[in-house]
Amino acid sequence: MHGRAGTETDDHALAWPEDIFQTLKRFAVRQVAYVPDAGHAQLITRVQGEPSMRGVSLTTEEEGIALLAGAWLGGQRGVLLMQSSGVGNCVNMLSLTQTCRYPFLTLVTMRGEWGEFNPWQVPMGSATQAVLELCGLKVLRASSADEVRDVVEAAAGQVYNACTPTAVLLSQRLIGAKVFTKADHE
């Protein structure tokens, strides 16, 4: 199963997904595209229970880039939730954010950093910020629960007000390192 290691354990540390949810509501986000991810699980659950938002489960991350372009053309704001390993799947599709100049916000839970057990996650986790920047996105990072609200608000402001494609990296230290036990493999 999934565990949390190296993270804060107070109520505020567990409240950051709610901070993101409330920020998305304030910015009138209506479409939330996601590939299911434990790091975004609490936020996805909140979105699914919110009548003003439509959660869209994707089979692969790059679908979300096109979905958000369509949402914008239809008059709605959107956000893409993904894990850092999915960023590599999006490189070609991210050209839409530059070519079509629509508001694009993605929230990326990081892997391959703090306490990572899976060596397959390390290469993309190490390259995520550089890949996004090379694709023309501004990148902001939240490493602690008390900065999530401000970072996501700043990102949403530059996306929806200045049409600046932006990614927020939610550090692995914030979301907690996954820990697998022997029982998980039996």
Tell me the CA end-to-end span of the chain in Å, nearest whole number: 12
The reported pLDDT for the residue numbered 95 is 94
77 lies in a domain? Answer: yes
The reported pLDDT for the residue numbered 13 is 52
130 lies in a domain? Answer: yes
The reported pLDDT for the residue numbered 111 is 72
What CATH number is associated with residue 160?
3.40.50.970
The reported pLDDT for the residue numbered 68 is 97
109 lies in a domain? Answer: yes
At residue 123, what are phi and psi to the nearest 5 degrees? -60, -50
Q: Give dist(CA 155, CA 141) in Å, integer.
A: 10
138 with 158: CB under 8 angstroms?
yes
Residue segments in the chain with a per-residue pLDDT below the cut of 50: 1-10, 184-185
Full residue range of the structural domain in which residue 120 is found: 11-178
6 lies in a domain? Answer: no
Q: Give dist(CA 116, CA 184) in Å, integer.
A: 16
DSSP-assigned states of every residue in 10-36: SHHHHHHHHHHHHHHHHTTEEEEEE--
93 lies in a domain? Answer: yes
186 lies in a domain? Answer: no
102 with 68: CB under 8 angstroms?
yes
The reported pLDDT for the residue numbered 4 is 40
Angle between helices 11-26 and 41-48 (to 10 degrees): 40
**Number of Cβ atoms within 10 Å of the Cβ of 1:** 9
With 0-12 CB in 10 A as exposed, 13-18 as middle and 19+ as buried, what is 184?
exposed
183 lies in a domain? Answer: no
* Total count of domains within the chain: 1
The reported pLDDT for the residue numbered 3 is 40
